[in-house]
């Protein structure tokens, strides 16, 4: 019997899927990620001799390596099939070293989707290991090791044990701290909105005051608003200008890693880490009834919007077969990839257009189905025609010179929106209506009740994970593979807490950030860090020698490190004492911050380990007894709102109650989300159900 060919991949799930594709004659083993790395007990970089890294077998990988060595000895051919990126190339290089494979020999295979066709094609086209990719990964790893292992001990001595600093995490922490500072120093400015409804012929429209004639005017005080009210009280109104038009709304590009993380956060409420975990499962292979293990999406770490010709043909054929002809553009839609993108992979898309989300729903977990549906529908929509809207813009002038204005739009042709619409971070679009009113210039407009509302400008919003990923990408910080681990790291280190999906710097995070900004300005400098990413890209392209990057960085860094050690004074972080006694030992508990937010802990830790969760009040009185309403989590993980006096008071609501009462019936109202990020206060009275749209002041940026 002929010896089997050995294929080495990273994950057991992928090994299982690929094994079924290749069948007899092949043996598939999983390395379970990296098998070698620099030692944790020392810096592992020879700074005296060209910054060469020292590699050892990772603890716990010995047994895996023994199994792989055994299979390799018996194999007639070895294929290294790790992920198609820098990290995957480096893993293949380490495996080649361990197994004694010549890196210049055709031993490396890569595929961008885990399908039978892609895997079999890859086996037929092996190539040598790409040392430019390996060296780009080594340069990043050595840089991060030097920064982490040189600065972290300094933080341990001066602040607290267990802290760390890093190239990308320090910049991300600084961005969150800077945003918090902007919020702290923000001074709200008062402004007023004067609005009313008009009856024009058979139509009724809502309009806002915009100024005096063609001259725009903002209202900054009650006096200015009252002046508008007074001048409009007895005025006559006529339609002074009508502008009709057409608006085209183009579909969004298929997903990149960053876009997927943002959209999954907006639409599904997933963290970046959860998104990547589920996407990895979809990529590596899921057991599909009647088909076996199948990779459902293409490679998930990409910054490209490029689509393979074969995939383009498949999605266009699917649209042509399932939608009227006007939904398919004459030529494929092509999207521009960011100038900083590596463009090594396609966009994230389904591997088979015949696998409709609903057709395989029974084989997927709930979260897998949600994410797959998101990817599938986004890809289909990206190759459809634009949506078309009829638009109407109307000016209504008072006889006293005040001008009111309203915009409206009506969907004329759904186009891609029949399948998918991108989530919005704010609700700045014109109001959509079923029918645009038929109006003519000169028509009389009969005014309804005038309303003057006081408003205040809002500070910039805190980052969510989605908006932080977008900001990091826009500034060129990190790459698709680093966004999720960066956010996880700064939360796990206690530098940042997640509260109501917002990222808030902790006291520890502020102290470490201030120390880094003062003593290591280059490490937290956005331009410097983005420039470093570009240099790593040059190494990957073969245009820059990787040792030079390290040498250029390390000299000045070492001098900065020495100065910092002299100048930084030890910081004592005092815990804020609460008025709550410990139930175990009686000591007054202190406030602590974890990755999940603030909590109370006994100051006598570790002798006493008692902790207490802080109730999350929402600032709304209980409608039954007047007590505080608390945000709670059900056993199934669903959020609900209940009274602090439970079980004495049994009030409960799945929807978030608000302070405001219904202006129509005086009943209780709750907060509800509408389309495109809009928010409403909705009356709970079934016979009323009055709703009031409110300004969304907590949008992603």
What is the C-alpha to C-alpha distance for residues 361 and 372, in angstroms, rounded to an integer? 9
Question: Cα torsion for 168, 170, 171, 172, to the nearest 10°?
Answer: 80
What is the C-alpha to C-alpha distance for residues 367 and 364, in angstroms, rounded to an integer? 8
Which H or E element spans position 294?
Answer: strand 292-294
User: Residue 146 CB: number of other CB atoms within 10 A?
Assistant: 22
Is 299 a residue of the active site? yes
Considering the candidates 299, 420, 463, 483, report the single residue annotated as catalytic: 299
Contact of 162 with 155, CB cutoff 8 Å? no
Q: Are strands 45-46 and 52-53 parallel, antiparallel or unpaired?
A: antiparallel
What is the C-alpha to C-alpha distance for residues 700 and 238, in angstroms, rounded to an integer? 39
For the chain, state the CA radius of gyration: 30
Contact of 242 with 392, CB cutoff 8 Å? yes
Phi, psi of 512 (to 5 degrees): -65, -40
Q: Which two tokens stand for residue 696?
A: 């969304």
What is the C-alpha to C-alpha distance for residues 511 and 559, in angstroms, rounded to an integer? 22
- Return all residues near 199 (Cβ < 8 A) that are at least 6 apart: 445, 446, 448
Which H or E element spans position 452?
Answer: strand 451-456
Which H or E element spans position 35?
Answer: none
For 157-171, b/e burial (b = at least 16 CB within 10 A) is ebbeeebbbbbbbbb
The per-residue DSSP string of 435-451 comes to: S-----TT-EEEE---E
Q: 3-state DSSP: the chain helix, strand, coil percent, rounded to 5?
A: 35, 25, 40
Q: Which residues pair with 256 in a beta bridge?
A: none
Active site members = 299
């Amino acid at each position: 019997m002929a010896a089997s060919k050995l294929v080495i991949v990273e994950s057991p799930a992928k090994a299982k899927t690929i094994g079924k594709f290749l069948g007899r004659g092949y043996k598939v083993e999983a390395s379970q990620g990296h098998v070698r790395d620099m030692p944790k007990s020392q810096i592992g970089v020879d700074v005296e001799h060209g910054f060469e890294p020292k590699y050892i077998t990772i603890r716990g990988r010995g047994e895996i390596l023994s199994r792989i060595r055994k299979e390799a000895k018996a194999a007639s051919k070895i294929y290294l099939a790790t992920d198609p990126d820098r990290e995957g190339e480096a893993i293949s290089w380490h495996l080649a070293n361990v197994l004694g494979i010549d890196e210049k020999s055709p031993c490396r295979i890569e595929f961008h989707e885990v399908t039978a066709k892609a895997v079999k094609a890859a086996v037929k086209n092996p190539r040598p290991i790409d040392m430019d990719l390996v060296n780009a990964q080594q340069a990043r790893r050595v840089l991060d090791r030097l920064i982490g292992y040189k600065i972290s001990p300094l933080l341990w001595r001066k602040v607290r044990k267990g802290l760390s600093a890093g190239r990308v995490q320090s910049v991300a922490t600084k961005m969150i701290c800077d945003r918090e500072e902007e919020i702290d120093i923000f001074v709200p400015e008062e402004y007023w909105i004067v609005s009313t409804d008009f009856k024009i012929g058979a139509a009724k429209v809502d309009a806002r005051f915009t100024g005096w004639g063609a001259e725009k005017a903002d209202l900054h005080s009650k006096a200015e608003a009252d002046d508008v009210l007074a001048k409009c009280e007895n005025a006559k109104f006529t339609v002074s200008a009508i502008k009709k038009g057409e608006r085209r709304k183009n579909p969004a590009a298929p997903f990149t890693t960053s876009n997927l993380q943002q959209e999954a956060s907006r639409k599904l409420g997933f963290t970046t880490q959860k998104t990547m975990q589920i996407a990895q499962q979809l990529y590596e292979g899921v057991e599909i009834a009647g088909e076996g293990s199948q990779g459902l999406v293409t490679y998930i770490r990409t910054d490209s919007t490029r689509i393979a010709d074969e995939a383009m043909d498949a999605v266009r054929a699917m649209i042509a077969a399932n939608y009227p002809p006007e939904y398919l553009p004459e030529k494929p839609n092509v999207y521009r990839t960011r100038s900083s993108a590596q463009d090594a992979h396609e966009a994230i898309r389904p591997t088979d257009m015949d696998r409709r989300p609903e057709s395989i729903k029974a084989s997927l977990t709930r979260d897998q189905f949600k994410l797959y549906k998101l990817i599938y529908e986004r890809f289909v929509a990206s190759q459809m025609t634009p949506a078309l809207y009829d638009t109407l813009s109307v000016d209504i002038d008072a006889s006293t010179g005040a001008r009111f204005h309203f915009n409206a739009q009506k969907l004329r042709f759904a186009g891609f929106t029949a399948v998918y619409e991108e989530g919005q971070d704010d609700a700045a679009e014109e109001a959509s209506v079923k029918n645009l009113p038929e109006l003519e210039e000169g028509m009389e407009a009969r005014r309804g009740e005038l309303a003057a509302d006081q408003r205040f400008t809002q500070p910039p919003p805190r980052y969510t994970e989605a908006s932080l990923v977008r900001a990091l990408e826009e500034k060129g910080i990190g790459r698709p593979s680093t966004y999720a681990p960066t956010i996880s790291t700064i939360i796990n280190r206690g530098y940042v807490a997640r509260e109501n999906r917002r990222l808030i710097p902790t006291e520890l995070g502020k102290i470490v950030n201030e120390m880094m900004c003062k003593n290591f300005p280059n490490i937290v400098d956005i331009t410097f860090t983005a420039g470093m990413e570009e240099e790593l890209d040059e190494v990957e392209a073969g245009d820059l020698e990787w040792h030079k990057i390290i040498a250029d960085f390390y000299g000045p860094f070492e001098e900065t490190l020495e100065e910092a050690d002299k100048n930084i004074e030890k910081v004592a972080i005092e815990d804020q004492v609460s008025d709550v006694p410990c139930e175990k030992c009686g000591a007054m508990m202190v406030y602590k911050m974890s990755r999940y937010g603030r909590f109370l802990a006994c100051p006598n830790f570790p002798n006493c380990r008692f902790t207490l969760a802080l109730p999350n009040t929402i600032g709304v009185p209980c409608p039954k007894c007047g007590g505080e309403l608390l945000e709670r989590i059900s056993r199934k993980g669903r959020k609900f709102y209940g009274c602090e006096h439970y079980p004495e008071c049994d009030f409960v609501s799945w929807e978030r109650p608000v302070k405001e009462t219904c202006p129509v019936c005086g009943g209780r109202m709750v907060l509800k989300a509408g389309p495109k990020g809009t928010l409403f206060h909705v009356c709970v009275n079934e016979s009323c159900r009055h709703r009031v749209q409110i300004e969304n002041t907590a949008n992603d940026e």
